Structure 1
Amino acid sequence: MQERAVSRAGTLRFPCGEAPAPGEAREVAPGVLWQRVPLPNGQFINAWALRDGEGWTVVDTGMWNERAIEVWRQLLAVDGPLGGRPVTRVIGTHLHADHVGMAGWLCEAFDCGLWMTRSEYHQARQLQQRSGRPMPGPDLAFYARAGWDDEALRALRPMGMNMSPLPARCRHIGDGERIRIGRDDWQVLVGNGHSPEHACLYCAERGLFISGDQVLPLISSNVSVWPSGPDANPMQDWLASIGKIGRCIPDDVLVLPAHNDPFRGLHARLEQLARKRHRALDQLRDALSQTDMRAVDAFGTLFGRKDFDNVFVQRLATGEALAYLGYLVRNGEVVLRTDVRGVCWYRLSHQGASRRRDA
C-alpha cells in the first residue's frame, strides 16, 4: 500500500531533472534511457531502455492498452527516442501487468525474447489463462475468511487482464546471474515479498541499480498474502530482501525504480522502508491488545481508512493486512481462531502482550 511521499528535500536526492513526457525519453546515463508509460489510474510506470549493440534491451513495459501501444510506437519511431532501432530483448522484473503487460506485444513486434525469473513467468502465464473466467471457489473462500461481505465477493474478478499474450518461451534468469547488455555486465539480484521472485539489475561498473518495485522512493511496495499461497510469510521475505539489498548494493548507486524518479540515497531509503513496516507492526500489536479483529478490521490501523473505492484496492489491502497478521502469527505473537461462519479472527497472545510491554 502507498505511504505518504517522503520529502524530496530530505535524505533522498533526485538528480535526473524533470521526468520525460509519454513518448519521450531522458538519458540518465550514457546509453540508458528513462521512459514513462501511462497507466489507467493516471500514474506511470518507468520503462528503461539499455543500449544493446544495434538495438535496445527494454526493462519493464507498462500495461497492454491502446494508450500504451500509442506511446510505444512514438518511442520506437525512426524520429523517436529509440531512433528506430529494434528491441533486442525484454526483461520483466516481475509478473504484474504494469511491468509485463506490453512484453508480449514488444516480443512479437521484434521477434525477440522475454527474460524473467522462472516463477514470475509461470505465474504470469497462469494469471493470463484464468483471466475472464469466473472467480475460483477457493479464492472466494479466501476473501470470505478475511471478512469480505457478499457484495464485495460478487464484485471480485480474476487478475491477469491488461496483458498481451506472453511468449510461449522464456529465457529464465536467476539470482547472481550476470547478463551482458551492450558493453556492460548487469547482475541479477532477486528479492521476495512484493512478488515471488522479483529480479533487480545491478551494474557495478556504472553504479546503476534497476530496482523495479523492490525499492521505490516515494511509495512502499504492496506486500500481500494471496489465495494461491495462504500460508506464506511475505512480510518476513520482504524484510529479509531489504536487508539483502543493503548488503549487496552500495549506497552510492543511482537507483532506477519502476515508479517515481531516479534517486540517490539507497541505504537511507531501505532504512525508511524497514522502519515503516516495523512501525505498522507495533500499531497492529497495540490494536490487537484492545480487541480481536479480522483482516478487514485492520485496515484503519494499517492504512488510516476502513473502506476503499474499488475491489482491486480492497484486495491489495486485504493481502497486506494478512501479511502483517501472518508475520505476527508466525512469530507466536498472535493467535488465530475461526468462527462458525469460517471467518478468521486474530488476537494478541501472551507472548505478544509480553513483547508489547517490553517494547
Structure 2
Amino acid sequence: MTANKAEGIRYPYSEPPKKGEWIEVAQGVYWLQMALPMALDHINLYVIEDDQGWWIVDTGMKWGDTQERWQLLFDGPMQGKPLLGVICTHLHPDHIGQAGWLCKTWKVPLCMSIGEYLSARTMTAPAPNGEPNWALIQHFIRSGIPEQTVQQMASKFQGFGDIVEPLPRSYRRLRDGQTLSIGGREWQVMIGSGHSPEHVCLYDARDHILLSGDQIIPRITSNVSVMPTEPEANPLVDWFNSLRRFRAELPEDTLILPAHNAPFYGAHYRLEHLIAHHESHLAAIEKACAEQPKTALELFPVLFEREVGVHEMPLALGEAVAHLHYLYELGRLERELHEDGAYRYHSVDLEHCPYTQTEAGSPLPIEV
C-alpha cells in the first residue's frame, strides 16, 4: 500500500492493471483501465462478477484499442460467463463510448439515470444541417469570446458523436436510493450532480466500497461547467450539495473506486479538499471582479495557471461561467450586458466575502 499522509490519501495499489488484465480490488470486483487520447490518458473501468455472468461499470471511449482491450478480457478472465448488463455512471464519452457496442453485441441492457441517458442522447445527436445554433454562439459571445474566434469555437463544439458508439434506443432507469443485487452485494445507487446532471455512484454499505465515477477522484477535480445546452444553469451549487451529502453519508474507511487515477482511502479528506478548492476560487473571483468588472474569459488567469488551448476552451469557459453563476445567484456578484454582447461581472460586497483564499491544491482542471 502506498500512502501520502500529507494529503490524507492512501492508495492500496502501487501499479495500475496492464492491457487485457485486471486487478481484483474486492471479492468479485475487478479494476481495469482503458487509454484516452488526452492529457488525462486513462479511465478506470470496473467489472462485477455475478453468479450468472458479468456486469460492466463504464465502458471507455470509441477510440484506439478500447474494443481490443475488452475482447482480451472477454477471451481471457471473463470467458465462460456472459455479459449481463452495462452500467454507465454518466454521459461523458469516456464512460459511455462503447456502451452501444457492448449492449448490441451481447444483447444486454444499458442502465443509467434518466438525466444522464437523455443528456447523452442529446449530446450524441447530429446538429441540424451540421451548423451550430444561435444559442451556442450567443453563449460564447456573452462569455467574452472575441467575435473573430466565436465561429472557430462553435465549429469544434459538435457534441460527442464521433467518439461514442450509437447508443441503445432503450435503457433501464437507475434512481437514487435504489438497490442493485449483484455478486452477493447490495449496491445502493447514490446520485450526485454538478459534474453531470444525475451522476450514478454505487455504494456497498456492508464492505464500505464506492464505485464513484467522476464524483470523487483523488488527484484531479472534475470539471463543473455551464454548457450551451443550459446557458443559465448553476451546476456549482449542485456540486457543493453533492459533495456535502457524500461527506455526511460515507464512512471514512470507504474504499473509493474512481474513474481516474487509482483506488484510494481518504474520502472525507478528499471531499473537504474539493469544497475548499472551489471556495478558494470563488474568493479569488470576487477579488478580481472588485478591481474591475470581468467577463468569464478575462477570469482565466485567475482560475487556470496555464494557457488554455482552443480544444480546451469550451470546458474552461464552462468552468469559469459556473463559478460566476454561483456567485451571481448568491448575490455576491452583479452582471451587466455590454454593447459587445458580453456579460461583465462585478463584486457587490468584498468586505464581507464568505470565502477565504486558502491553499486548496492544484488549479482547476480542464477535463471532460
Give the TM-score range, shorter chain: over 0.9
Question: Which residue identity does 2:258 align to in structure 1?
Answer: P
Count residues in correspondence. 348
CA contact (8 A) 1:143 1:153 kept: no
Conserved 8 A contact 2:280-2:355: no
Match of 2:21 in 1: 24
1:76 alignment partner AA: F
- Tell me how far 1:131 sits from its aligned partner: 5.8
Structure 2 partner of 1:3: none
CA-based RMSD of the aligned residues comes to 1.8
What's the offset of the Cα at 1:356?
3.2
1:310 — aligned with what? 310
Q: How far does residue 151 in structure 1 lie from its aligned partner after superposition?
A: 2.3
Match for 1:107 among 103, 108, 113?
103
Taking a change above 3 Å as real, the CA distance of residues 8 and 121 of structure 1, as seen in their structure-2 partners, is: farther
In the aligned structure 1, how far is the partner of 2:286 from the partner of 2:260? 31
Where 1:13 maps in the other structure, the secondary structure is strand
1:122-159 Cα offsets, whole Å, 9 max, x none, are: 11011111369322221111111111122253243311
Equivalent residue for 1:36, pick from 28, 33, 37 = 33
Cα 1:7–1:338 change in 2 (3 A) is farther
**Structure 2, unaligned stretches of length 5 or more?**
357-368
| Residue aligning to 1:244 | 245
Instruction: Choose 126-135 or 160-169, whichever is displaced more.
Output: 126-135
Kept in 2, the 8 Å contact 1:200–1:211? The answer is yes
Preserved contact between residue 53 and residue 182 of structure 1 (Cα < 8 Å): yes
- Which residue identity does 1:35 align to in structure 2? L
Change (3 A) 1:9 1:76: farther
- Say whether the 8 Å CA contact 2:282–2:355 is kept in structure 1: no
Q: Work out whether residues 28 and 49 of structure 2, in 8 Å CA contact, stay in contact via their aligned partners in 1.
A: yes
CA contact (8 A) 1:131 1:160 kept: no
Give the TM-score, by structure 2 length.
0.91
What's the TM-score, normalizing by structure 1? Answer: 0.93
- The answer to whether the Cα contact below 8 Å between 1:63 and 1:98 also exists between their aligned partners in 2 is yes
Q: What is residue 171 of structure 1 aligned with on the other side?
A: 172
Find the residue that maps to 1:329 and give its secondary structure.
helix
- Runs (4 or more) in structure 1 with deviation over 6 Å come to none
What SS is found at the alignment partner of 2:242?
A: helix
CA drift of 1:7 comes to 5.3
What's the offset of the Cα at 1:355? 1.6
Per-residue deviation, 1:16 = 2.5
The Cα shift of 1:303 comes to 1.2
% same residue: 37
Gapped runs of 5+ residues in structure 1?
A: 1-5
Q: Which residue in 2 is equivalent to 1:71?
A: 69
Task: State the one-letter code of the partner of 2:160.
Answer: G
Picking from 49, 52, 55, the partner of 1:51 is 49
Q: Deviations over 1:215-270 (max 9, x none)?
A: 10000000011112122111111001000001121111100000010000100100
CA separation in 1, counterparts of 2:134 and 2:231? 14
Question: Which amino acid is the alignment partner of residue 118 of structure 1?
Answer: I
CA distance, structure 2, for counterparts of residue 92 and residue 104 of structure 1: 11
1:171–1:292 Cα change, 3 Å: same
Secondary structure at 2:31's aligned position in 1?
Answer: strand
Measured in 1, the distance between the counterparts of 2:260 and 2:354 equals: 39
Structure 1 residues 7 and 277: CA distance shift in structure 2, 3 A: farther
Task: Return the letter of the residue paired with 1:67.
Answer: D
Distance 1:228 1:309 in 2: 22
SS of the residue aligned with 1:293? coil
Equivalent residue runs for 1:199-278 within 5 Å: 199-278=200-279
CA deviation string 1:104-130 (max 9, x = no partner): 111011110000000100110111113
1:290-309 aligned within 5 A: 290-305=291-306, 307-309=307-309
Task: In structure 2, give the amino acid aligned to 1:45.
Answer: I
Letter in 2 for 1:185: E
Greater Cα offset, 262-271 or 41-50 = 41-50
Kindly provide the amino acid, as one letter, of the partner of residue 350 in structure 2. A
Partner Cα separation in structure 1 for residue 328 and residue 245 of structure 2: 24
For 2:267 and 2:166, locate their aligned partners in 1 and report how far apart those are by CA, in whole Å: 35
The residue number in structure 1 matching 2:152 is 154
Q: Does 1:337 align with 2:336?
A: yes
